[in-house]
Chains A and B, each alone.
Chain A
Amino acid sequence: MCPFCRGGFVQGDRTRACAGCGARHHRECLADHGGCAVFGCQGGEGLMSDAWTIDPDDPVPIGDQIVYRVLYAIARGVYRPGDKLPTVREVAARLKVNPNTVSKAYRDLERDGVLDSRRGTGVFVEEGALEVALERRQALVLERFERAVNEALEAGLSAAEVQEVLLEALGQAARARKDEVVLRDVEELTRSPLARWAGKRAGRRGKTQ
């Protein structure tokens, strides 16, 4: 499983292993993430050296980047409920960012029920943190998805073509993961009248071109 997208590897995927911990990533994911996505991995040559890394050139504000990092670490199980996080000062010095930015990120995560600093002895991961992290991750993926759909339409693809590609990708992913439930769903969707119509239409377009 790729530690960034948590998806499996399909034949033909371009992958690369982290020189530090050996974890295999999709190449695109490695580039997306800027380095090895295994939390705490020191990375290898040319890979990220520290999981608490931020990218100051990223248009995403640094505080939000820290929020995503922490959520991601929790989603991966690197930090579990009850675990203590590094202090604001430690994170600020490590990332070389403003401590106020870090404490604001921690406060945001506290408000969302991910972290808890009430005990006064540090910042801890809350019980329900994993669910929140997964929810946020889904929201992020859906957002990217919507952007991709927009781009597809802008590039001149038709609704039917987008749908076809989507069903195909779903089928492929389901087969690769041997996920019976998804596979059955995909077959069901493919049989629907809209899909059949779309399939025929796409076929016609293919011939006329």
Chain B
Amino acid sequence: MGGSVKVQVRGAPAVSESPSSSPGLIDARGLGRRFGRRWVVRGLDLAVPAGSVTALLGRNGAGKSTTIQMLLGLLPPSEGQVTVLGREPRRQGHALFREVAYVSERRELLDDMTVEGLARLVAEVHGARFDGGGFEDLRRRYDLAPGARCGVLSKGQRARLLLALALAARPRVLVLDEPTSGLDVLVRDDFLEAIASFVAQEDGAPRAVLLSTHIIEDVSRICDRAVVLRERGPALSGELEDLRAACARYVVRLKGVLPPGDRLRLPRGAVLLERDPRALTLAAMGAAEHVEAELDAALPVAGLERHPASFKEAFACWTAPVEQAGGDQGGDGAGGAA
């Protein structure tokens, strides 16, 4: 209970700040989607401000792909509103994709076409907006043979080709759904570099990237904001550094020895990282005094140290299950926030 309250307090200023002060290139309010009776996403407020690279994070099955599909108008939401570049994606149909490029994790290409042929097709669809010269530069840089059939390209080459095509369409919003999962570090570097130069183009036009990924190292490098989807709880969102600073790693020295089999009673939202007979290492989110008081109440604490959390530890805190006992309430809370 305490966990979710603190979280909202911590996240509140950043969340309320961004949509009102500068409207996002992507905005969602009270977004929800239900499959049958099961809500996959509910009560989601999300904003991707101009100039930002926003990470969409969450454990497997937290609803990231469902969210992206709703944002792109590919899946009708059960409740809530979405605007992309100020317009409703569902009303725009294909027109949306003139200014929004989407690279999905499935990396689907027309396998019988050549690299060159596919580029011509995409150029036709986009008309004058398509940057043929820019595509050629990227194609050469990514070492893609123009005559190669898409069907024979490796995973990394497919990803690079899709990235080159997406950038050549000169979008204002780039949506990447797990773009580099299962790819080697060099392809990942290409994506990171492309994202960095994409948002920093110096023509003054607002651009933004929404990136869903499991690779926390990429997130810490390239993203400045994050939206974390959580099971049974309201999503967290804010500046990435603030979200990390809301978490800390605690080393707890215990009075006496803790038998290895003993069940631990940890404060809600705390994530156990290491367990030794006389000490525990945990990560937790929230105000330090509050967490320390909770640890004191739950464990025979002899000494306590607090350290900054790494991004990995912070990720574990963000996605820690919101307490079961309050689980149903948490769902209501999320709905009520919409």
Interface of A toward B, CB cutoff 8 Å: 56-57, 59, 61-63, 87-89, 92-93, 95-101
Contacts and interface: CB of A to CB of B under 8 A. Distances in A.
B310 A99 contact: no
- Most interface-central of A56, A62, A98, A100 (chain B CB within 10 A): A98
A108 B52 CA distance: 19
Interface in B126-172: none
Given A89-B201, A92-B196, A98 B308 contact: no
A98 B53 contact: yes
Nearest to B192: A96
Given A57-B310, A61-B241, A89-B201, A96 B52 contact: no
Q: Is the interface of A mostly helix, strand, loop or mixed?
A: helix
Nearest to B249: A59
B295 to A, nearest CB: 21
Contacts of A100: 51-53, 199, 224
B289 interface: no
Given A96-B221, A100-B52, A100-B224, 12 more contacts: A59-B310, A88-B200, A89-B197, A92-B196, A92-B197, A93-B200, A96-B189, A97-B196, A97-B222, A98-B199, A98-B221, A99-B199
Given A89-B201, A98-B53, A56 B196 contact: no
Given A100-B51, A100-B224, A93 B310 contact: no
Given A98-B53, A100-B52, A56 B221 contact: yes
B220 A99 contact: no
8 tightest A-B contacts by CB? Answer: A99-B200, A96-B192, A89-B200, A92-B196, A93-B197, A98-B224, A100-B224, A93-B196
Contacts, number: 55
Contacts of B241: 61, 63
Contacts of B192: 96
Nearest to B199: A99
A100 B221 CA distance: 11
A123 B270 CA distance: 44
A48 to B, nearest CB: 16
B217 interface: yes
Interface in B205-222: 217, 220-222
20 contacts: A56-B311, A57-B217, A87-B202, A89-B197, A89-B202, A93-B197, A95-B221, A96-B189, A96-B193, A96-B196, A97-B196, A97-B222, A98-B196, A98-B222, A98-B224, A99-B196, A99-B200, A100-B51, A100-B53, A101-B224
B223 to A, nearest CB: 6
A61 B223 CA distance: 12
Nearest to B49: A100
Contacts of B52: 100
A98 B201 CA distance: 12
Contacts of A63: 241
B201 A56 contact: no
Contacts of B308: 59
Nearest to A63: B241
A93 B200 CA distance: 9
Contacts of B51: 99-100
B213 to A, nearest CB: 13
- Most interface-central of A61, A96, A97, A101 (chain B CB within 10 A): A96
Contacts of B311: 56
A41 B200 CA distance: 26
- Most interface-central of A61, A89, A95, A100 (chain B CB within 10 A): A100
A100 B224 CA distance: 7
Nearest to B239: A100
B134 to A, nearest CB: 15
Contact of B217 (A56, A95, A99): A56
Contacts of B310: 57, 59
A83 B310 CA distance: 35
A106 B192 CA distance: 21
A97 B196 CA distance: 6
Contacts of A99: 51, 196, 199-200
A11 B290 CA distance: 52
B286 to A, nearest CB: 19
A59 B197 CA distance: 25
A62 B241 CA distance: 10
A193 to B, nearest CB: 37
Contacts of B221: 56, 62, 95-98
Interface string B31-67: 0000000000000000000011100000000000000
Given A96-B189, A96-B192, A98-B196, A62 B201 contact: no
